C-alpha cells in the first residue's frame, strides 16, 4: 500500500475544501438552519409531536441525511471530474499508485468532508431543538457508512459525467427528491397504506429510517434491513468502481 500516494490525493482534496469553505461548509449549514426556521417554526407550530418526539427534533436526522447524501455525491464527483476535465488524470494514472489507493484518496477526502459537515449540522441543530442520541455508536456507524457509500457513488458519477451539467443531474433531480419523499420531514407510518407501500421502493427511506432510529429509537422499517441496504449499496458501488478501473471506462480515453 502506497500511503504517500493516498495521503497526497487526500491532502490535495482537503486543501480544496479549505479554499472553498464558504461553499463547502458555510452554505450547507445556513441552508439547514433555514429548514429549521421554515419547517420547525411554521409546520412545527401545527405539529406538536410525532410518536412522542417534538417535530423540530424529529426532522434533524432527515436534514442531516439530506445534506450528507448531496454533499458526499457532489464532493466526490467534482473531485474526480476536474482531473479528467483538465487532463491531469493521466498523471495520476501513470503515478505509482494503484486503483485502490486512488479511490481511497478521493473517496476518503469526500467522505471526511461530509462527516465533518454532518457533525457541524448536528451541533447547529442543537441550538434550535433539544436533542438526544439513544445509540451514538449506531449513529456514527450510519453516518460513516452512508458518507463512504455515497462518496463512492459520487466518484462513479464524476467518471461517468462528460459535462458540468451531468454532475448536477443526479444530486438535484434524483437524490434530493428521493430524500424529501423518504421521510425527511414526516414519518411514512402517517401515509395511507398504498403510498406507504410505494415509499418502500425508495432506497433512501431505509437510510433515513435507520439513522432516525439511532436518535430516537423510532423507525419506519426494520433497523437491520436499513443497515443491510447501506451495506448492499456500498458493495454495488465497489463492484462498479472495480469494473471502471479494470476496463479503463472514461479514464484512459
pLDDT digits (tens, 9 = 90+) for 128-165: 888 889 999 999 999 999 999 999 999 999 999 888 88
CA atoms within 13 A on the CB side of 90: 5
Q: Which residues contact 41 (CB under 8 A, 6 or more apart)?
A: none
For 42-53, the pLDDT digits (tens) are 666 677 788 888
For 174-224, the pLDDT digits (tens) are 898 999 889 888 888 888 999 899 999 999 999 999 999 999 999 999 999
Q: Which residues contact 40 (CB under 8 A, 6 or more apart)?
A: 55, 56, 59, 128, 129
Decide if 83 contacts 204 (C-beta within 8 A): no
Q: What is the pLDDT of residue 40?
A: 65
Quote the domain boundaries for residue 30: 3-247
**Residue 24 falls within a domain, yes or no?**
yes
**Residue 212 falls within a domain, yes or no?**
yes
Q: How many domains does the chain have?
A: 1
Q: Which residues contact 178 (CB under 8 A, 6 or more apart)?
A: 202, 203, 204
Residue 103 predicted with pLDDT over 80: yes
**Residue 116 falls within a domain, yes or no?**
yes
The structure's pTM equals 0.92
**Residue 119 falls within a domain, yes or no?**
yes
CA distance 142 to 145: 5
Which three three-digit cell numbers place residue 180?
A: 424529501
**Residue 43 falls within a domain, yes or no?**
yes
Q: Is 52 left (phi over 0), alpha (psi -120 to 50) or beta?
A: left
Say which range, 93-97, 136-140, 223-227, has the weakest mean pLDDT: 93-97
**Residue 252 falls within a domain, yes or no?**
no
**Residue 253 falls within a domain, yes or no?**
no
Tell me 133's DSSP state: -
Residue 253 predicted with pLDDT over 70: no
Amino acid at each position: 500500500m502506497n500511503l504517500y500516494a493516498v495521503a497526497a490525493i487526500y491532502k490535495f482534496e482537503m486543501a480544496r475544501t479549505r479554499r472553498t469553505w464558504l461553499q463547502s461548509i458555510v452554505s450547507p449549514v445556513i441552508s439547514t438552519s433555514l429548514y429549521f426556521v421554515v419547517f420547525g417554526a411554521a409546520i412545527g407550530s401545527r405539529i406538536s409531536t410525532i410518536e412522542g418526539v417534538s417535530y423540530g427534533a424529529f426532522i434533524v436526522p432527515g436534514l442531516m441525511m439530506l445534506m450528507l447524501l448531496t454533499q458526499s455525491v457532489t464532493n466526490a464527483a467534482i473531485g474526480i471530474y476536474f482531473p479528467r476535465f483538465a487532463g491531469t488524470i493521466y498523471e495520476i494514472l501513470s503515478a505509482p499508485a494503484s486503483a485502490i489507493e486512488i479511490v481511497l484518496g478521493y473517496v476518503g477526502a469526500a467522505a471526511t468532508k461530509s462527516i465533518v459537515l454532518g457533525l457541524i449540522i448536528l451541533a447547529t441543530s442543537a441550538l434550535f431543538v433539544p436533542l438526544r442520541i439513544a445509540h451514538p455508536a449506531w449513529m456514527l456507524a450510519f453516518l460513516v457508512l452512508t458518507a463512504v457509500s455515497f462518496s463512492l457513488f459520487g466518484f462513479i458519477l464524476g467518471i461517468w459525467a462528460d459535462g458540468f451539467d451531468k454532475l448536477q443531474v443526479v444530486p438535484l433531480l434524483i437524490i434530493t427528491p428521493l430524500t424529501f419523499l423518504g421521510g425527511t420531514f414526516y414519518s411514512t407510518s402517517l401515509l395511507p397504506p398504498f403510498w406507504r407501500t410505494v415509499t418502500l421502493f425508495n432506497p433512501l427511506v431505509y437510510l433515513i429510517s435507520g439513522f432516525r432510529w439511532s436518535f430516537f429509537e423510532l423507525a419506519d422499517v426494520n433497523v437491520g434491513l436499513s443497515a443491510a441496504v447501506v451495506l448492499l449499496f456500498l458493495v454495488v458501488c465497489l463492484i462498479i468502481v472495480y469494473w471502471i478501473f479494470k476496463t479503463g471506462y472514461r479514464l484512459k480515453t
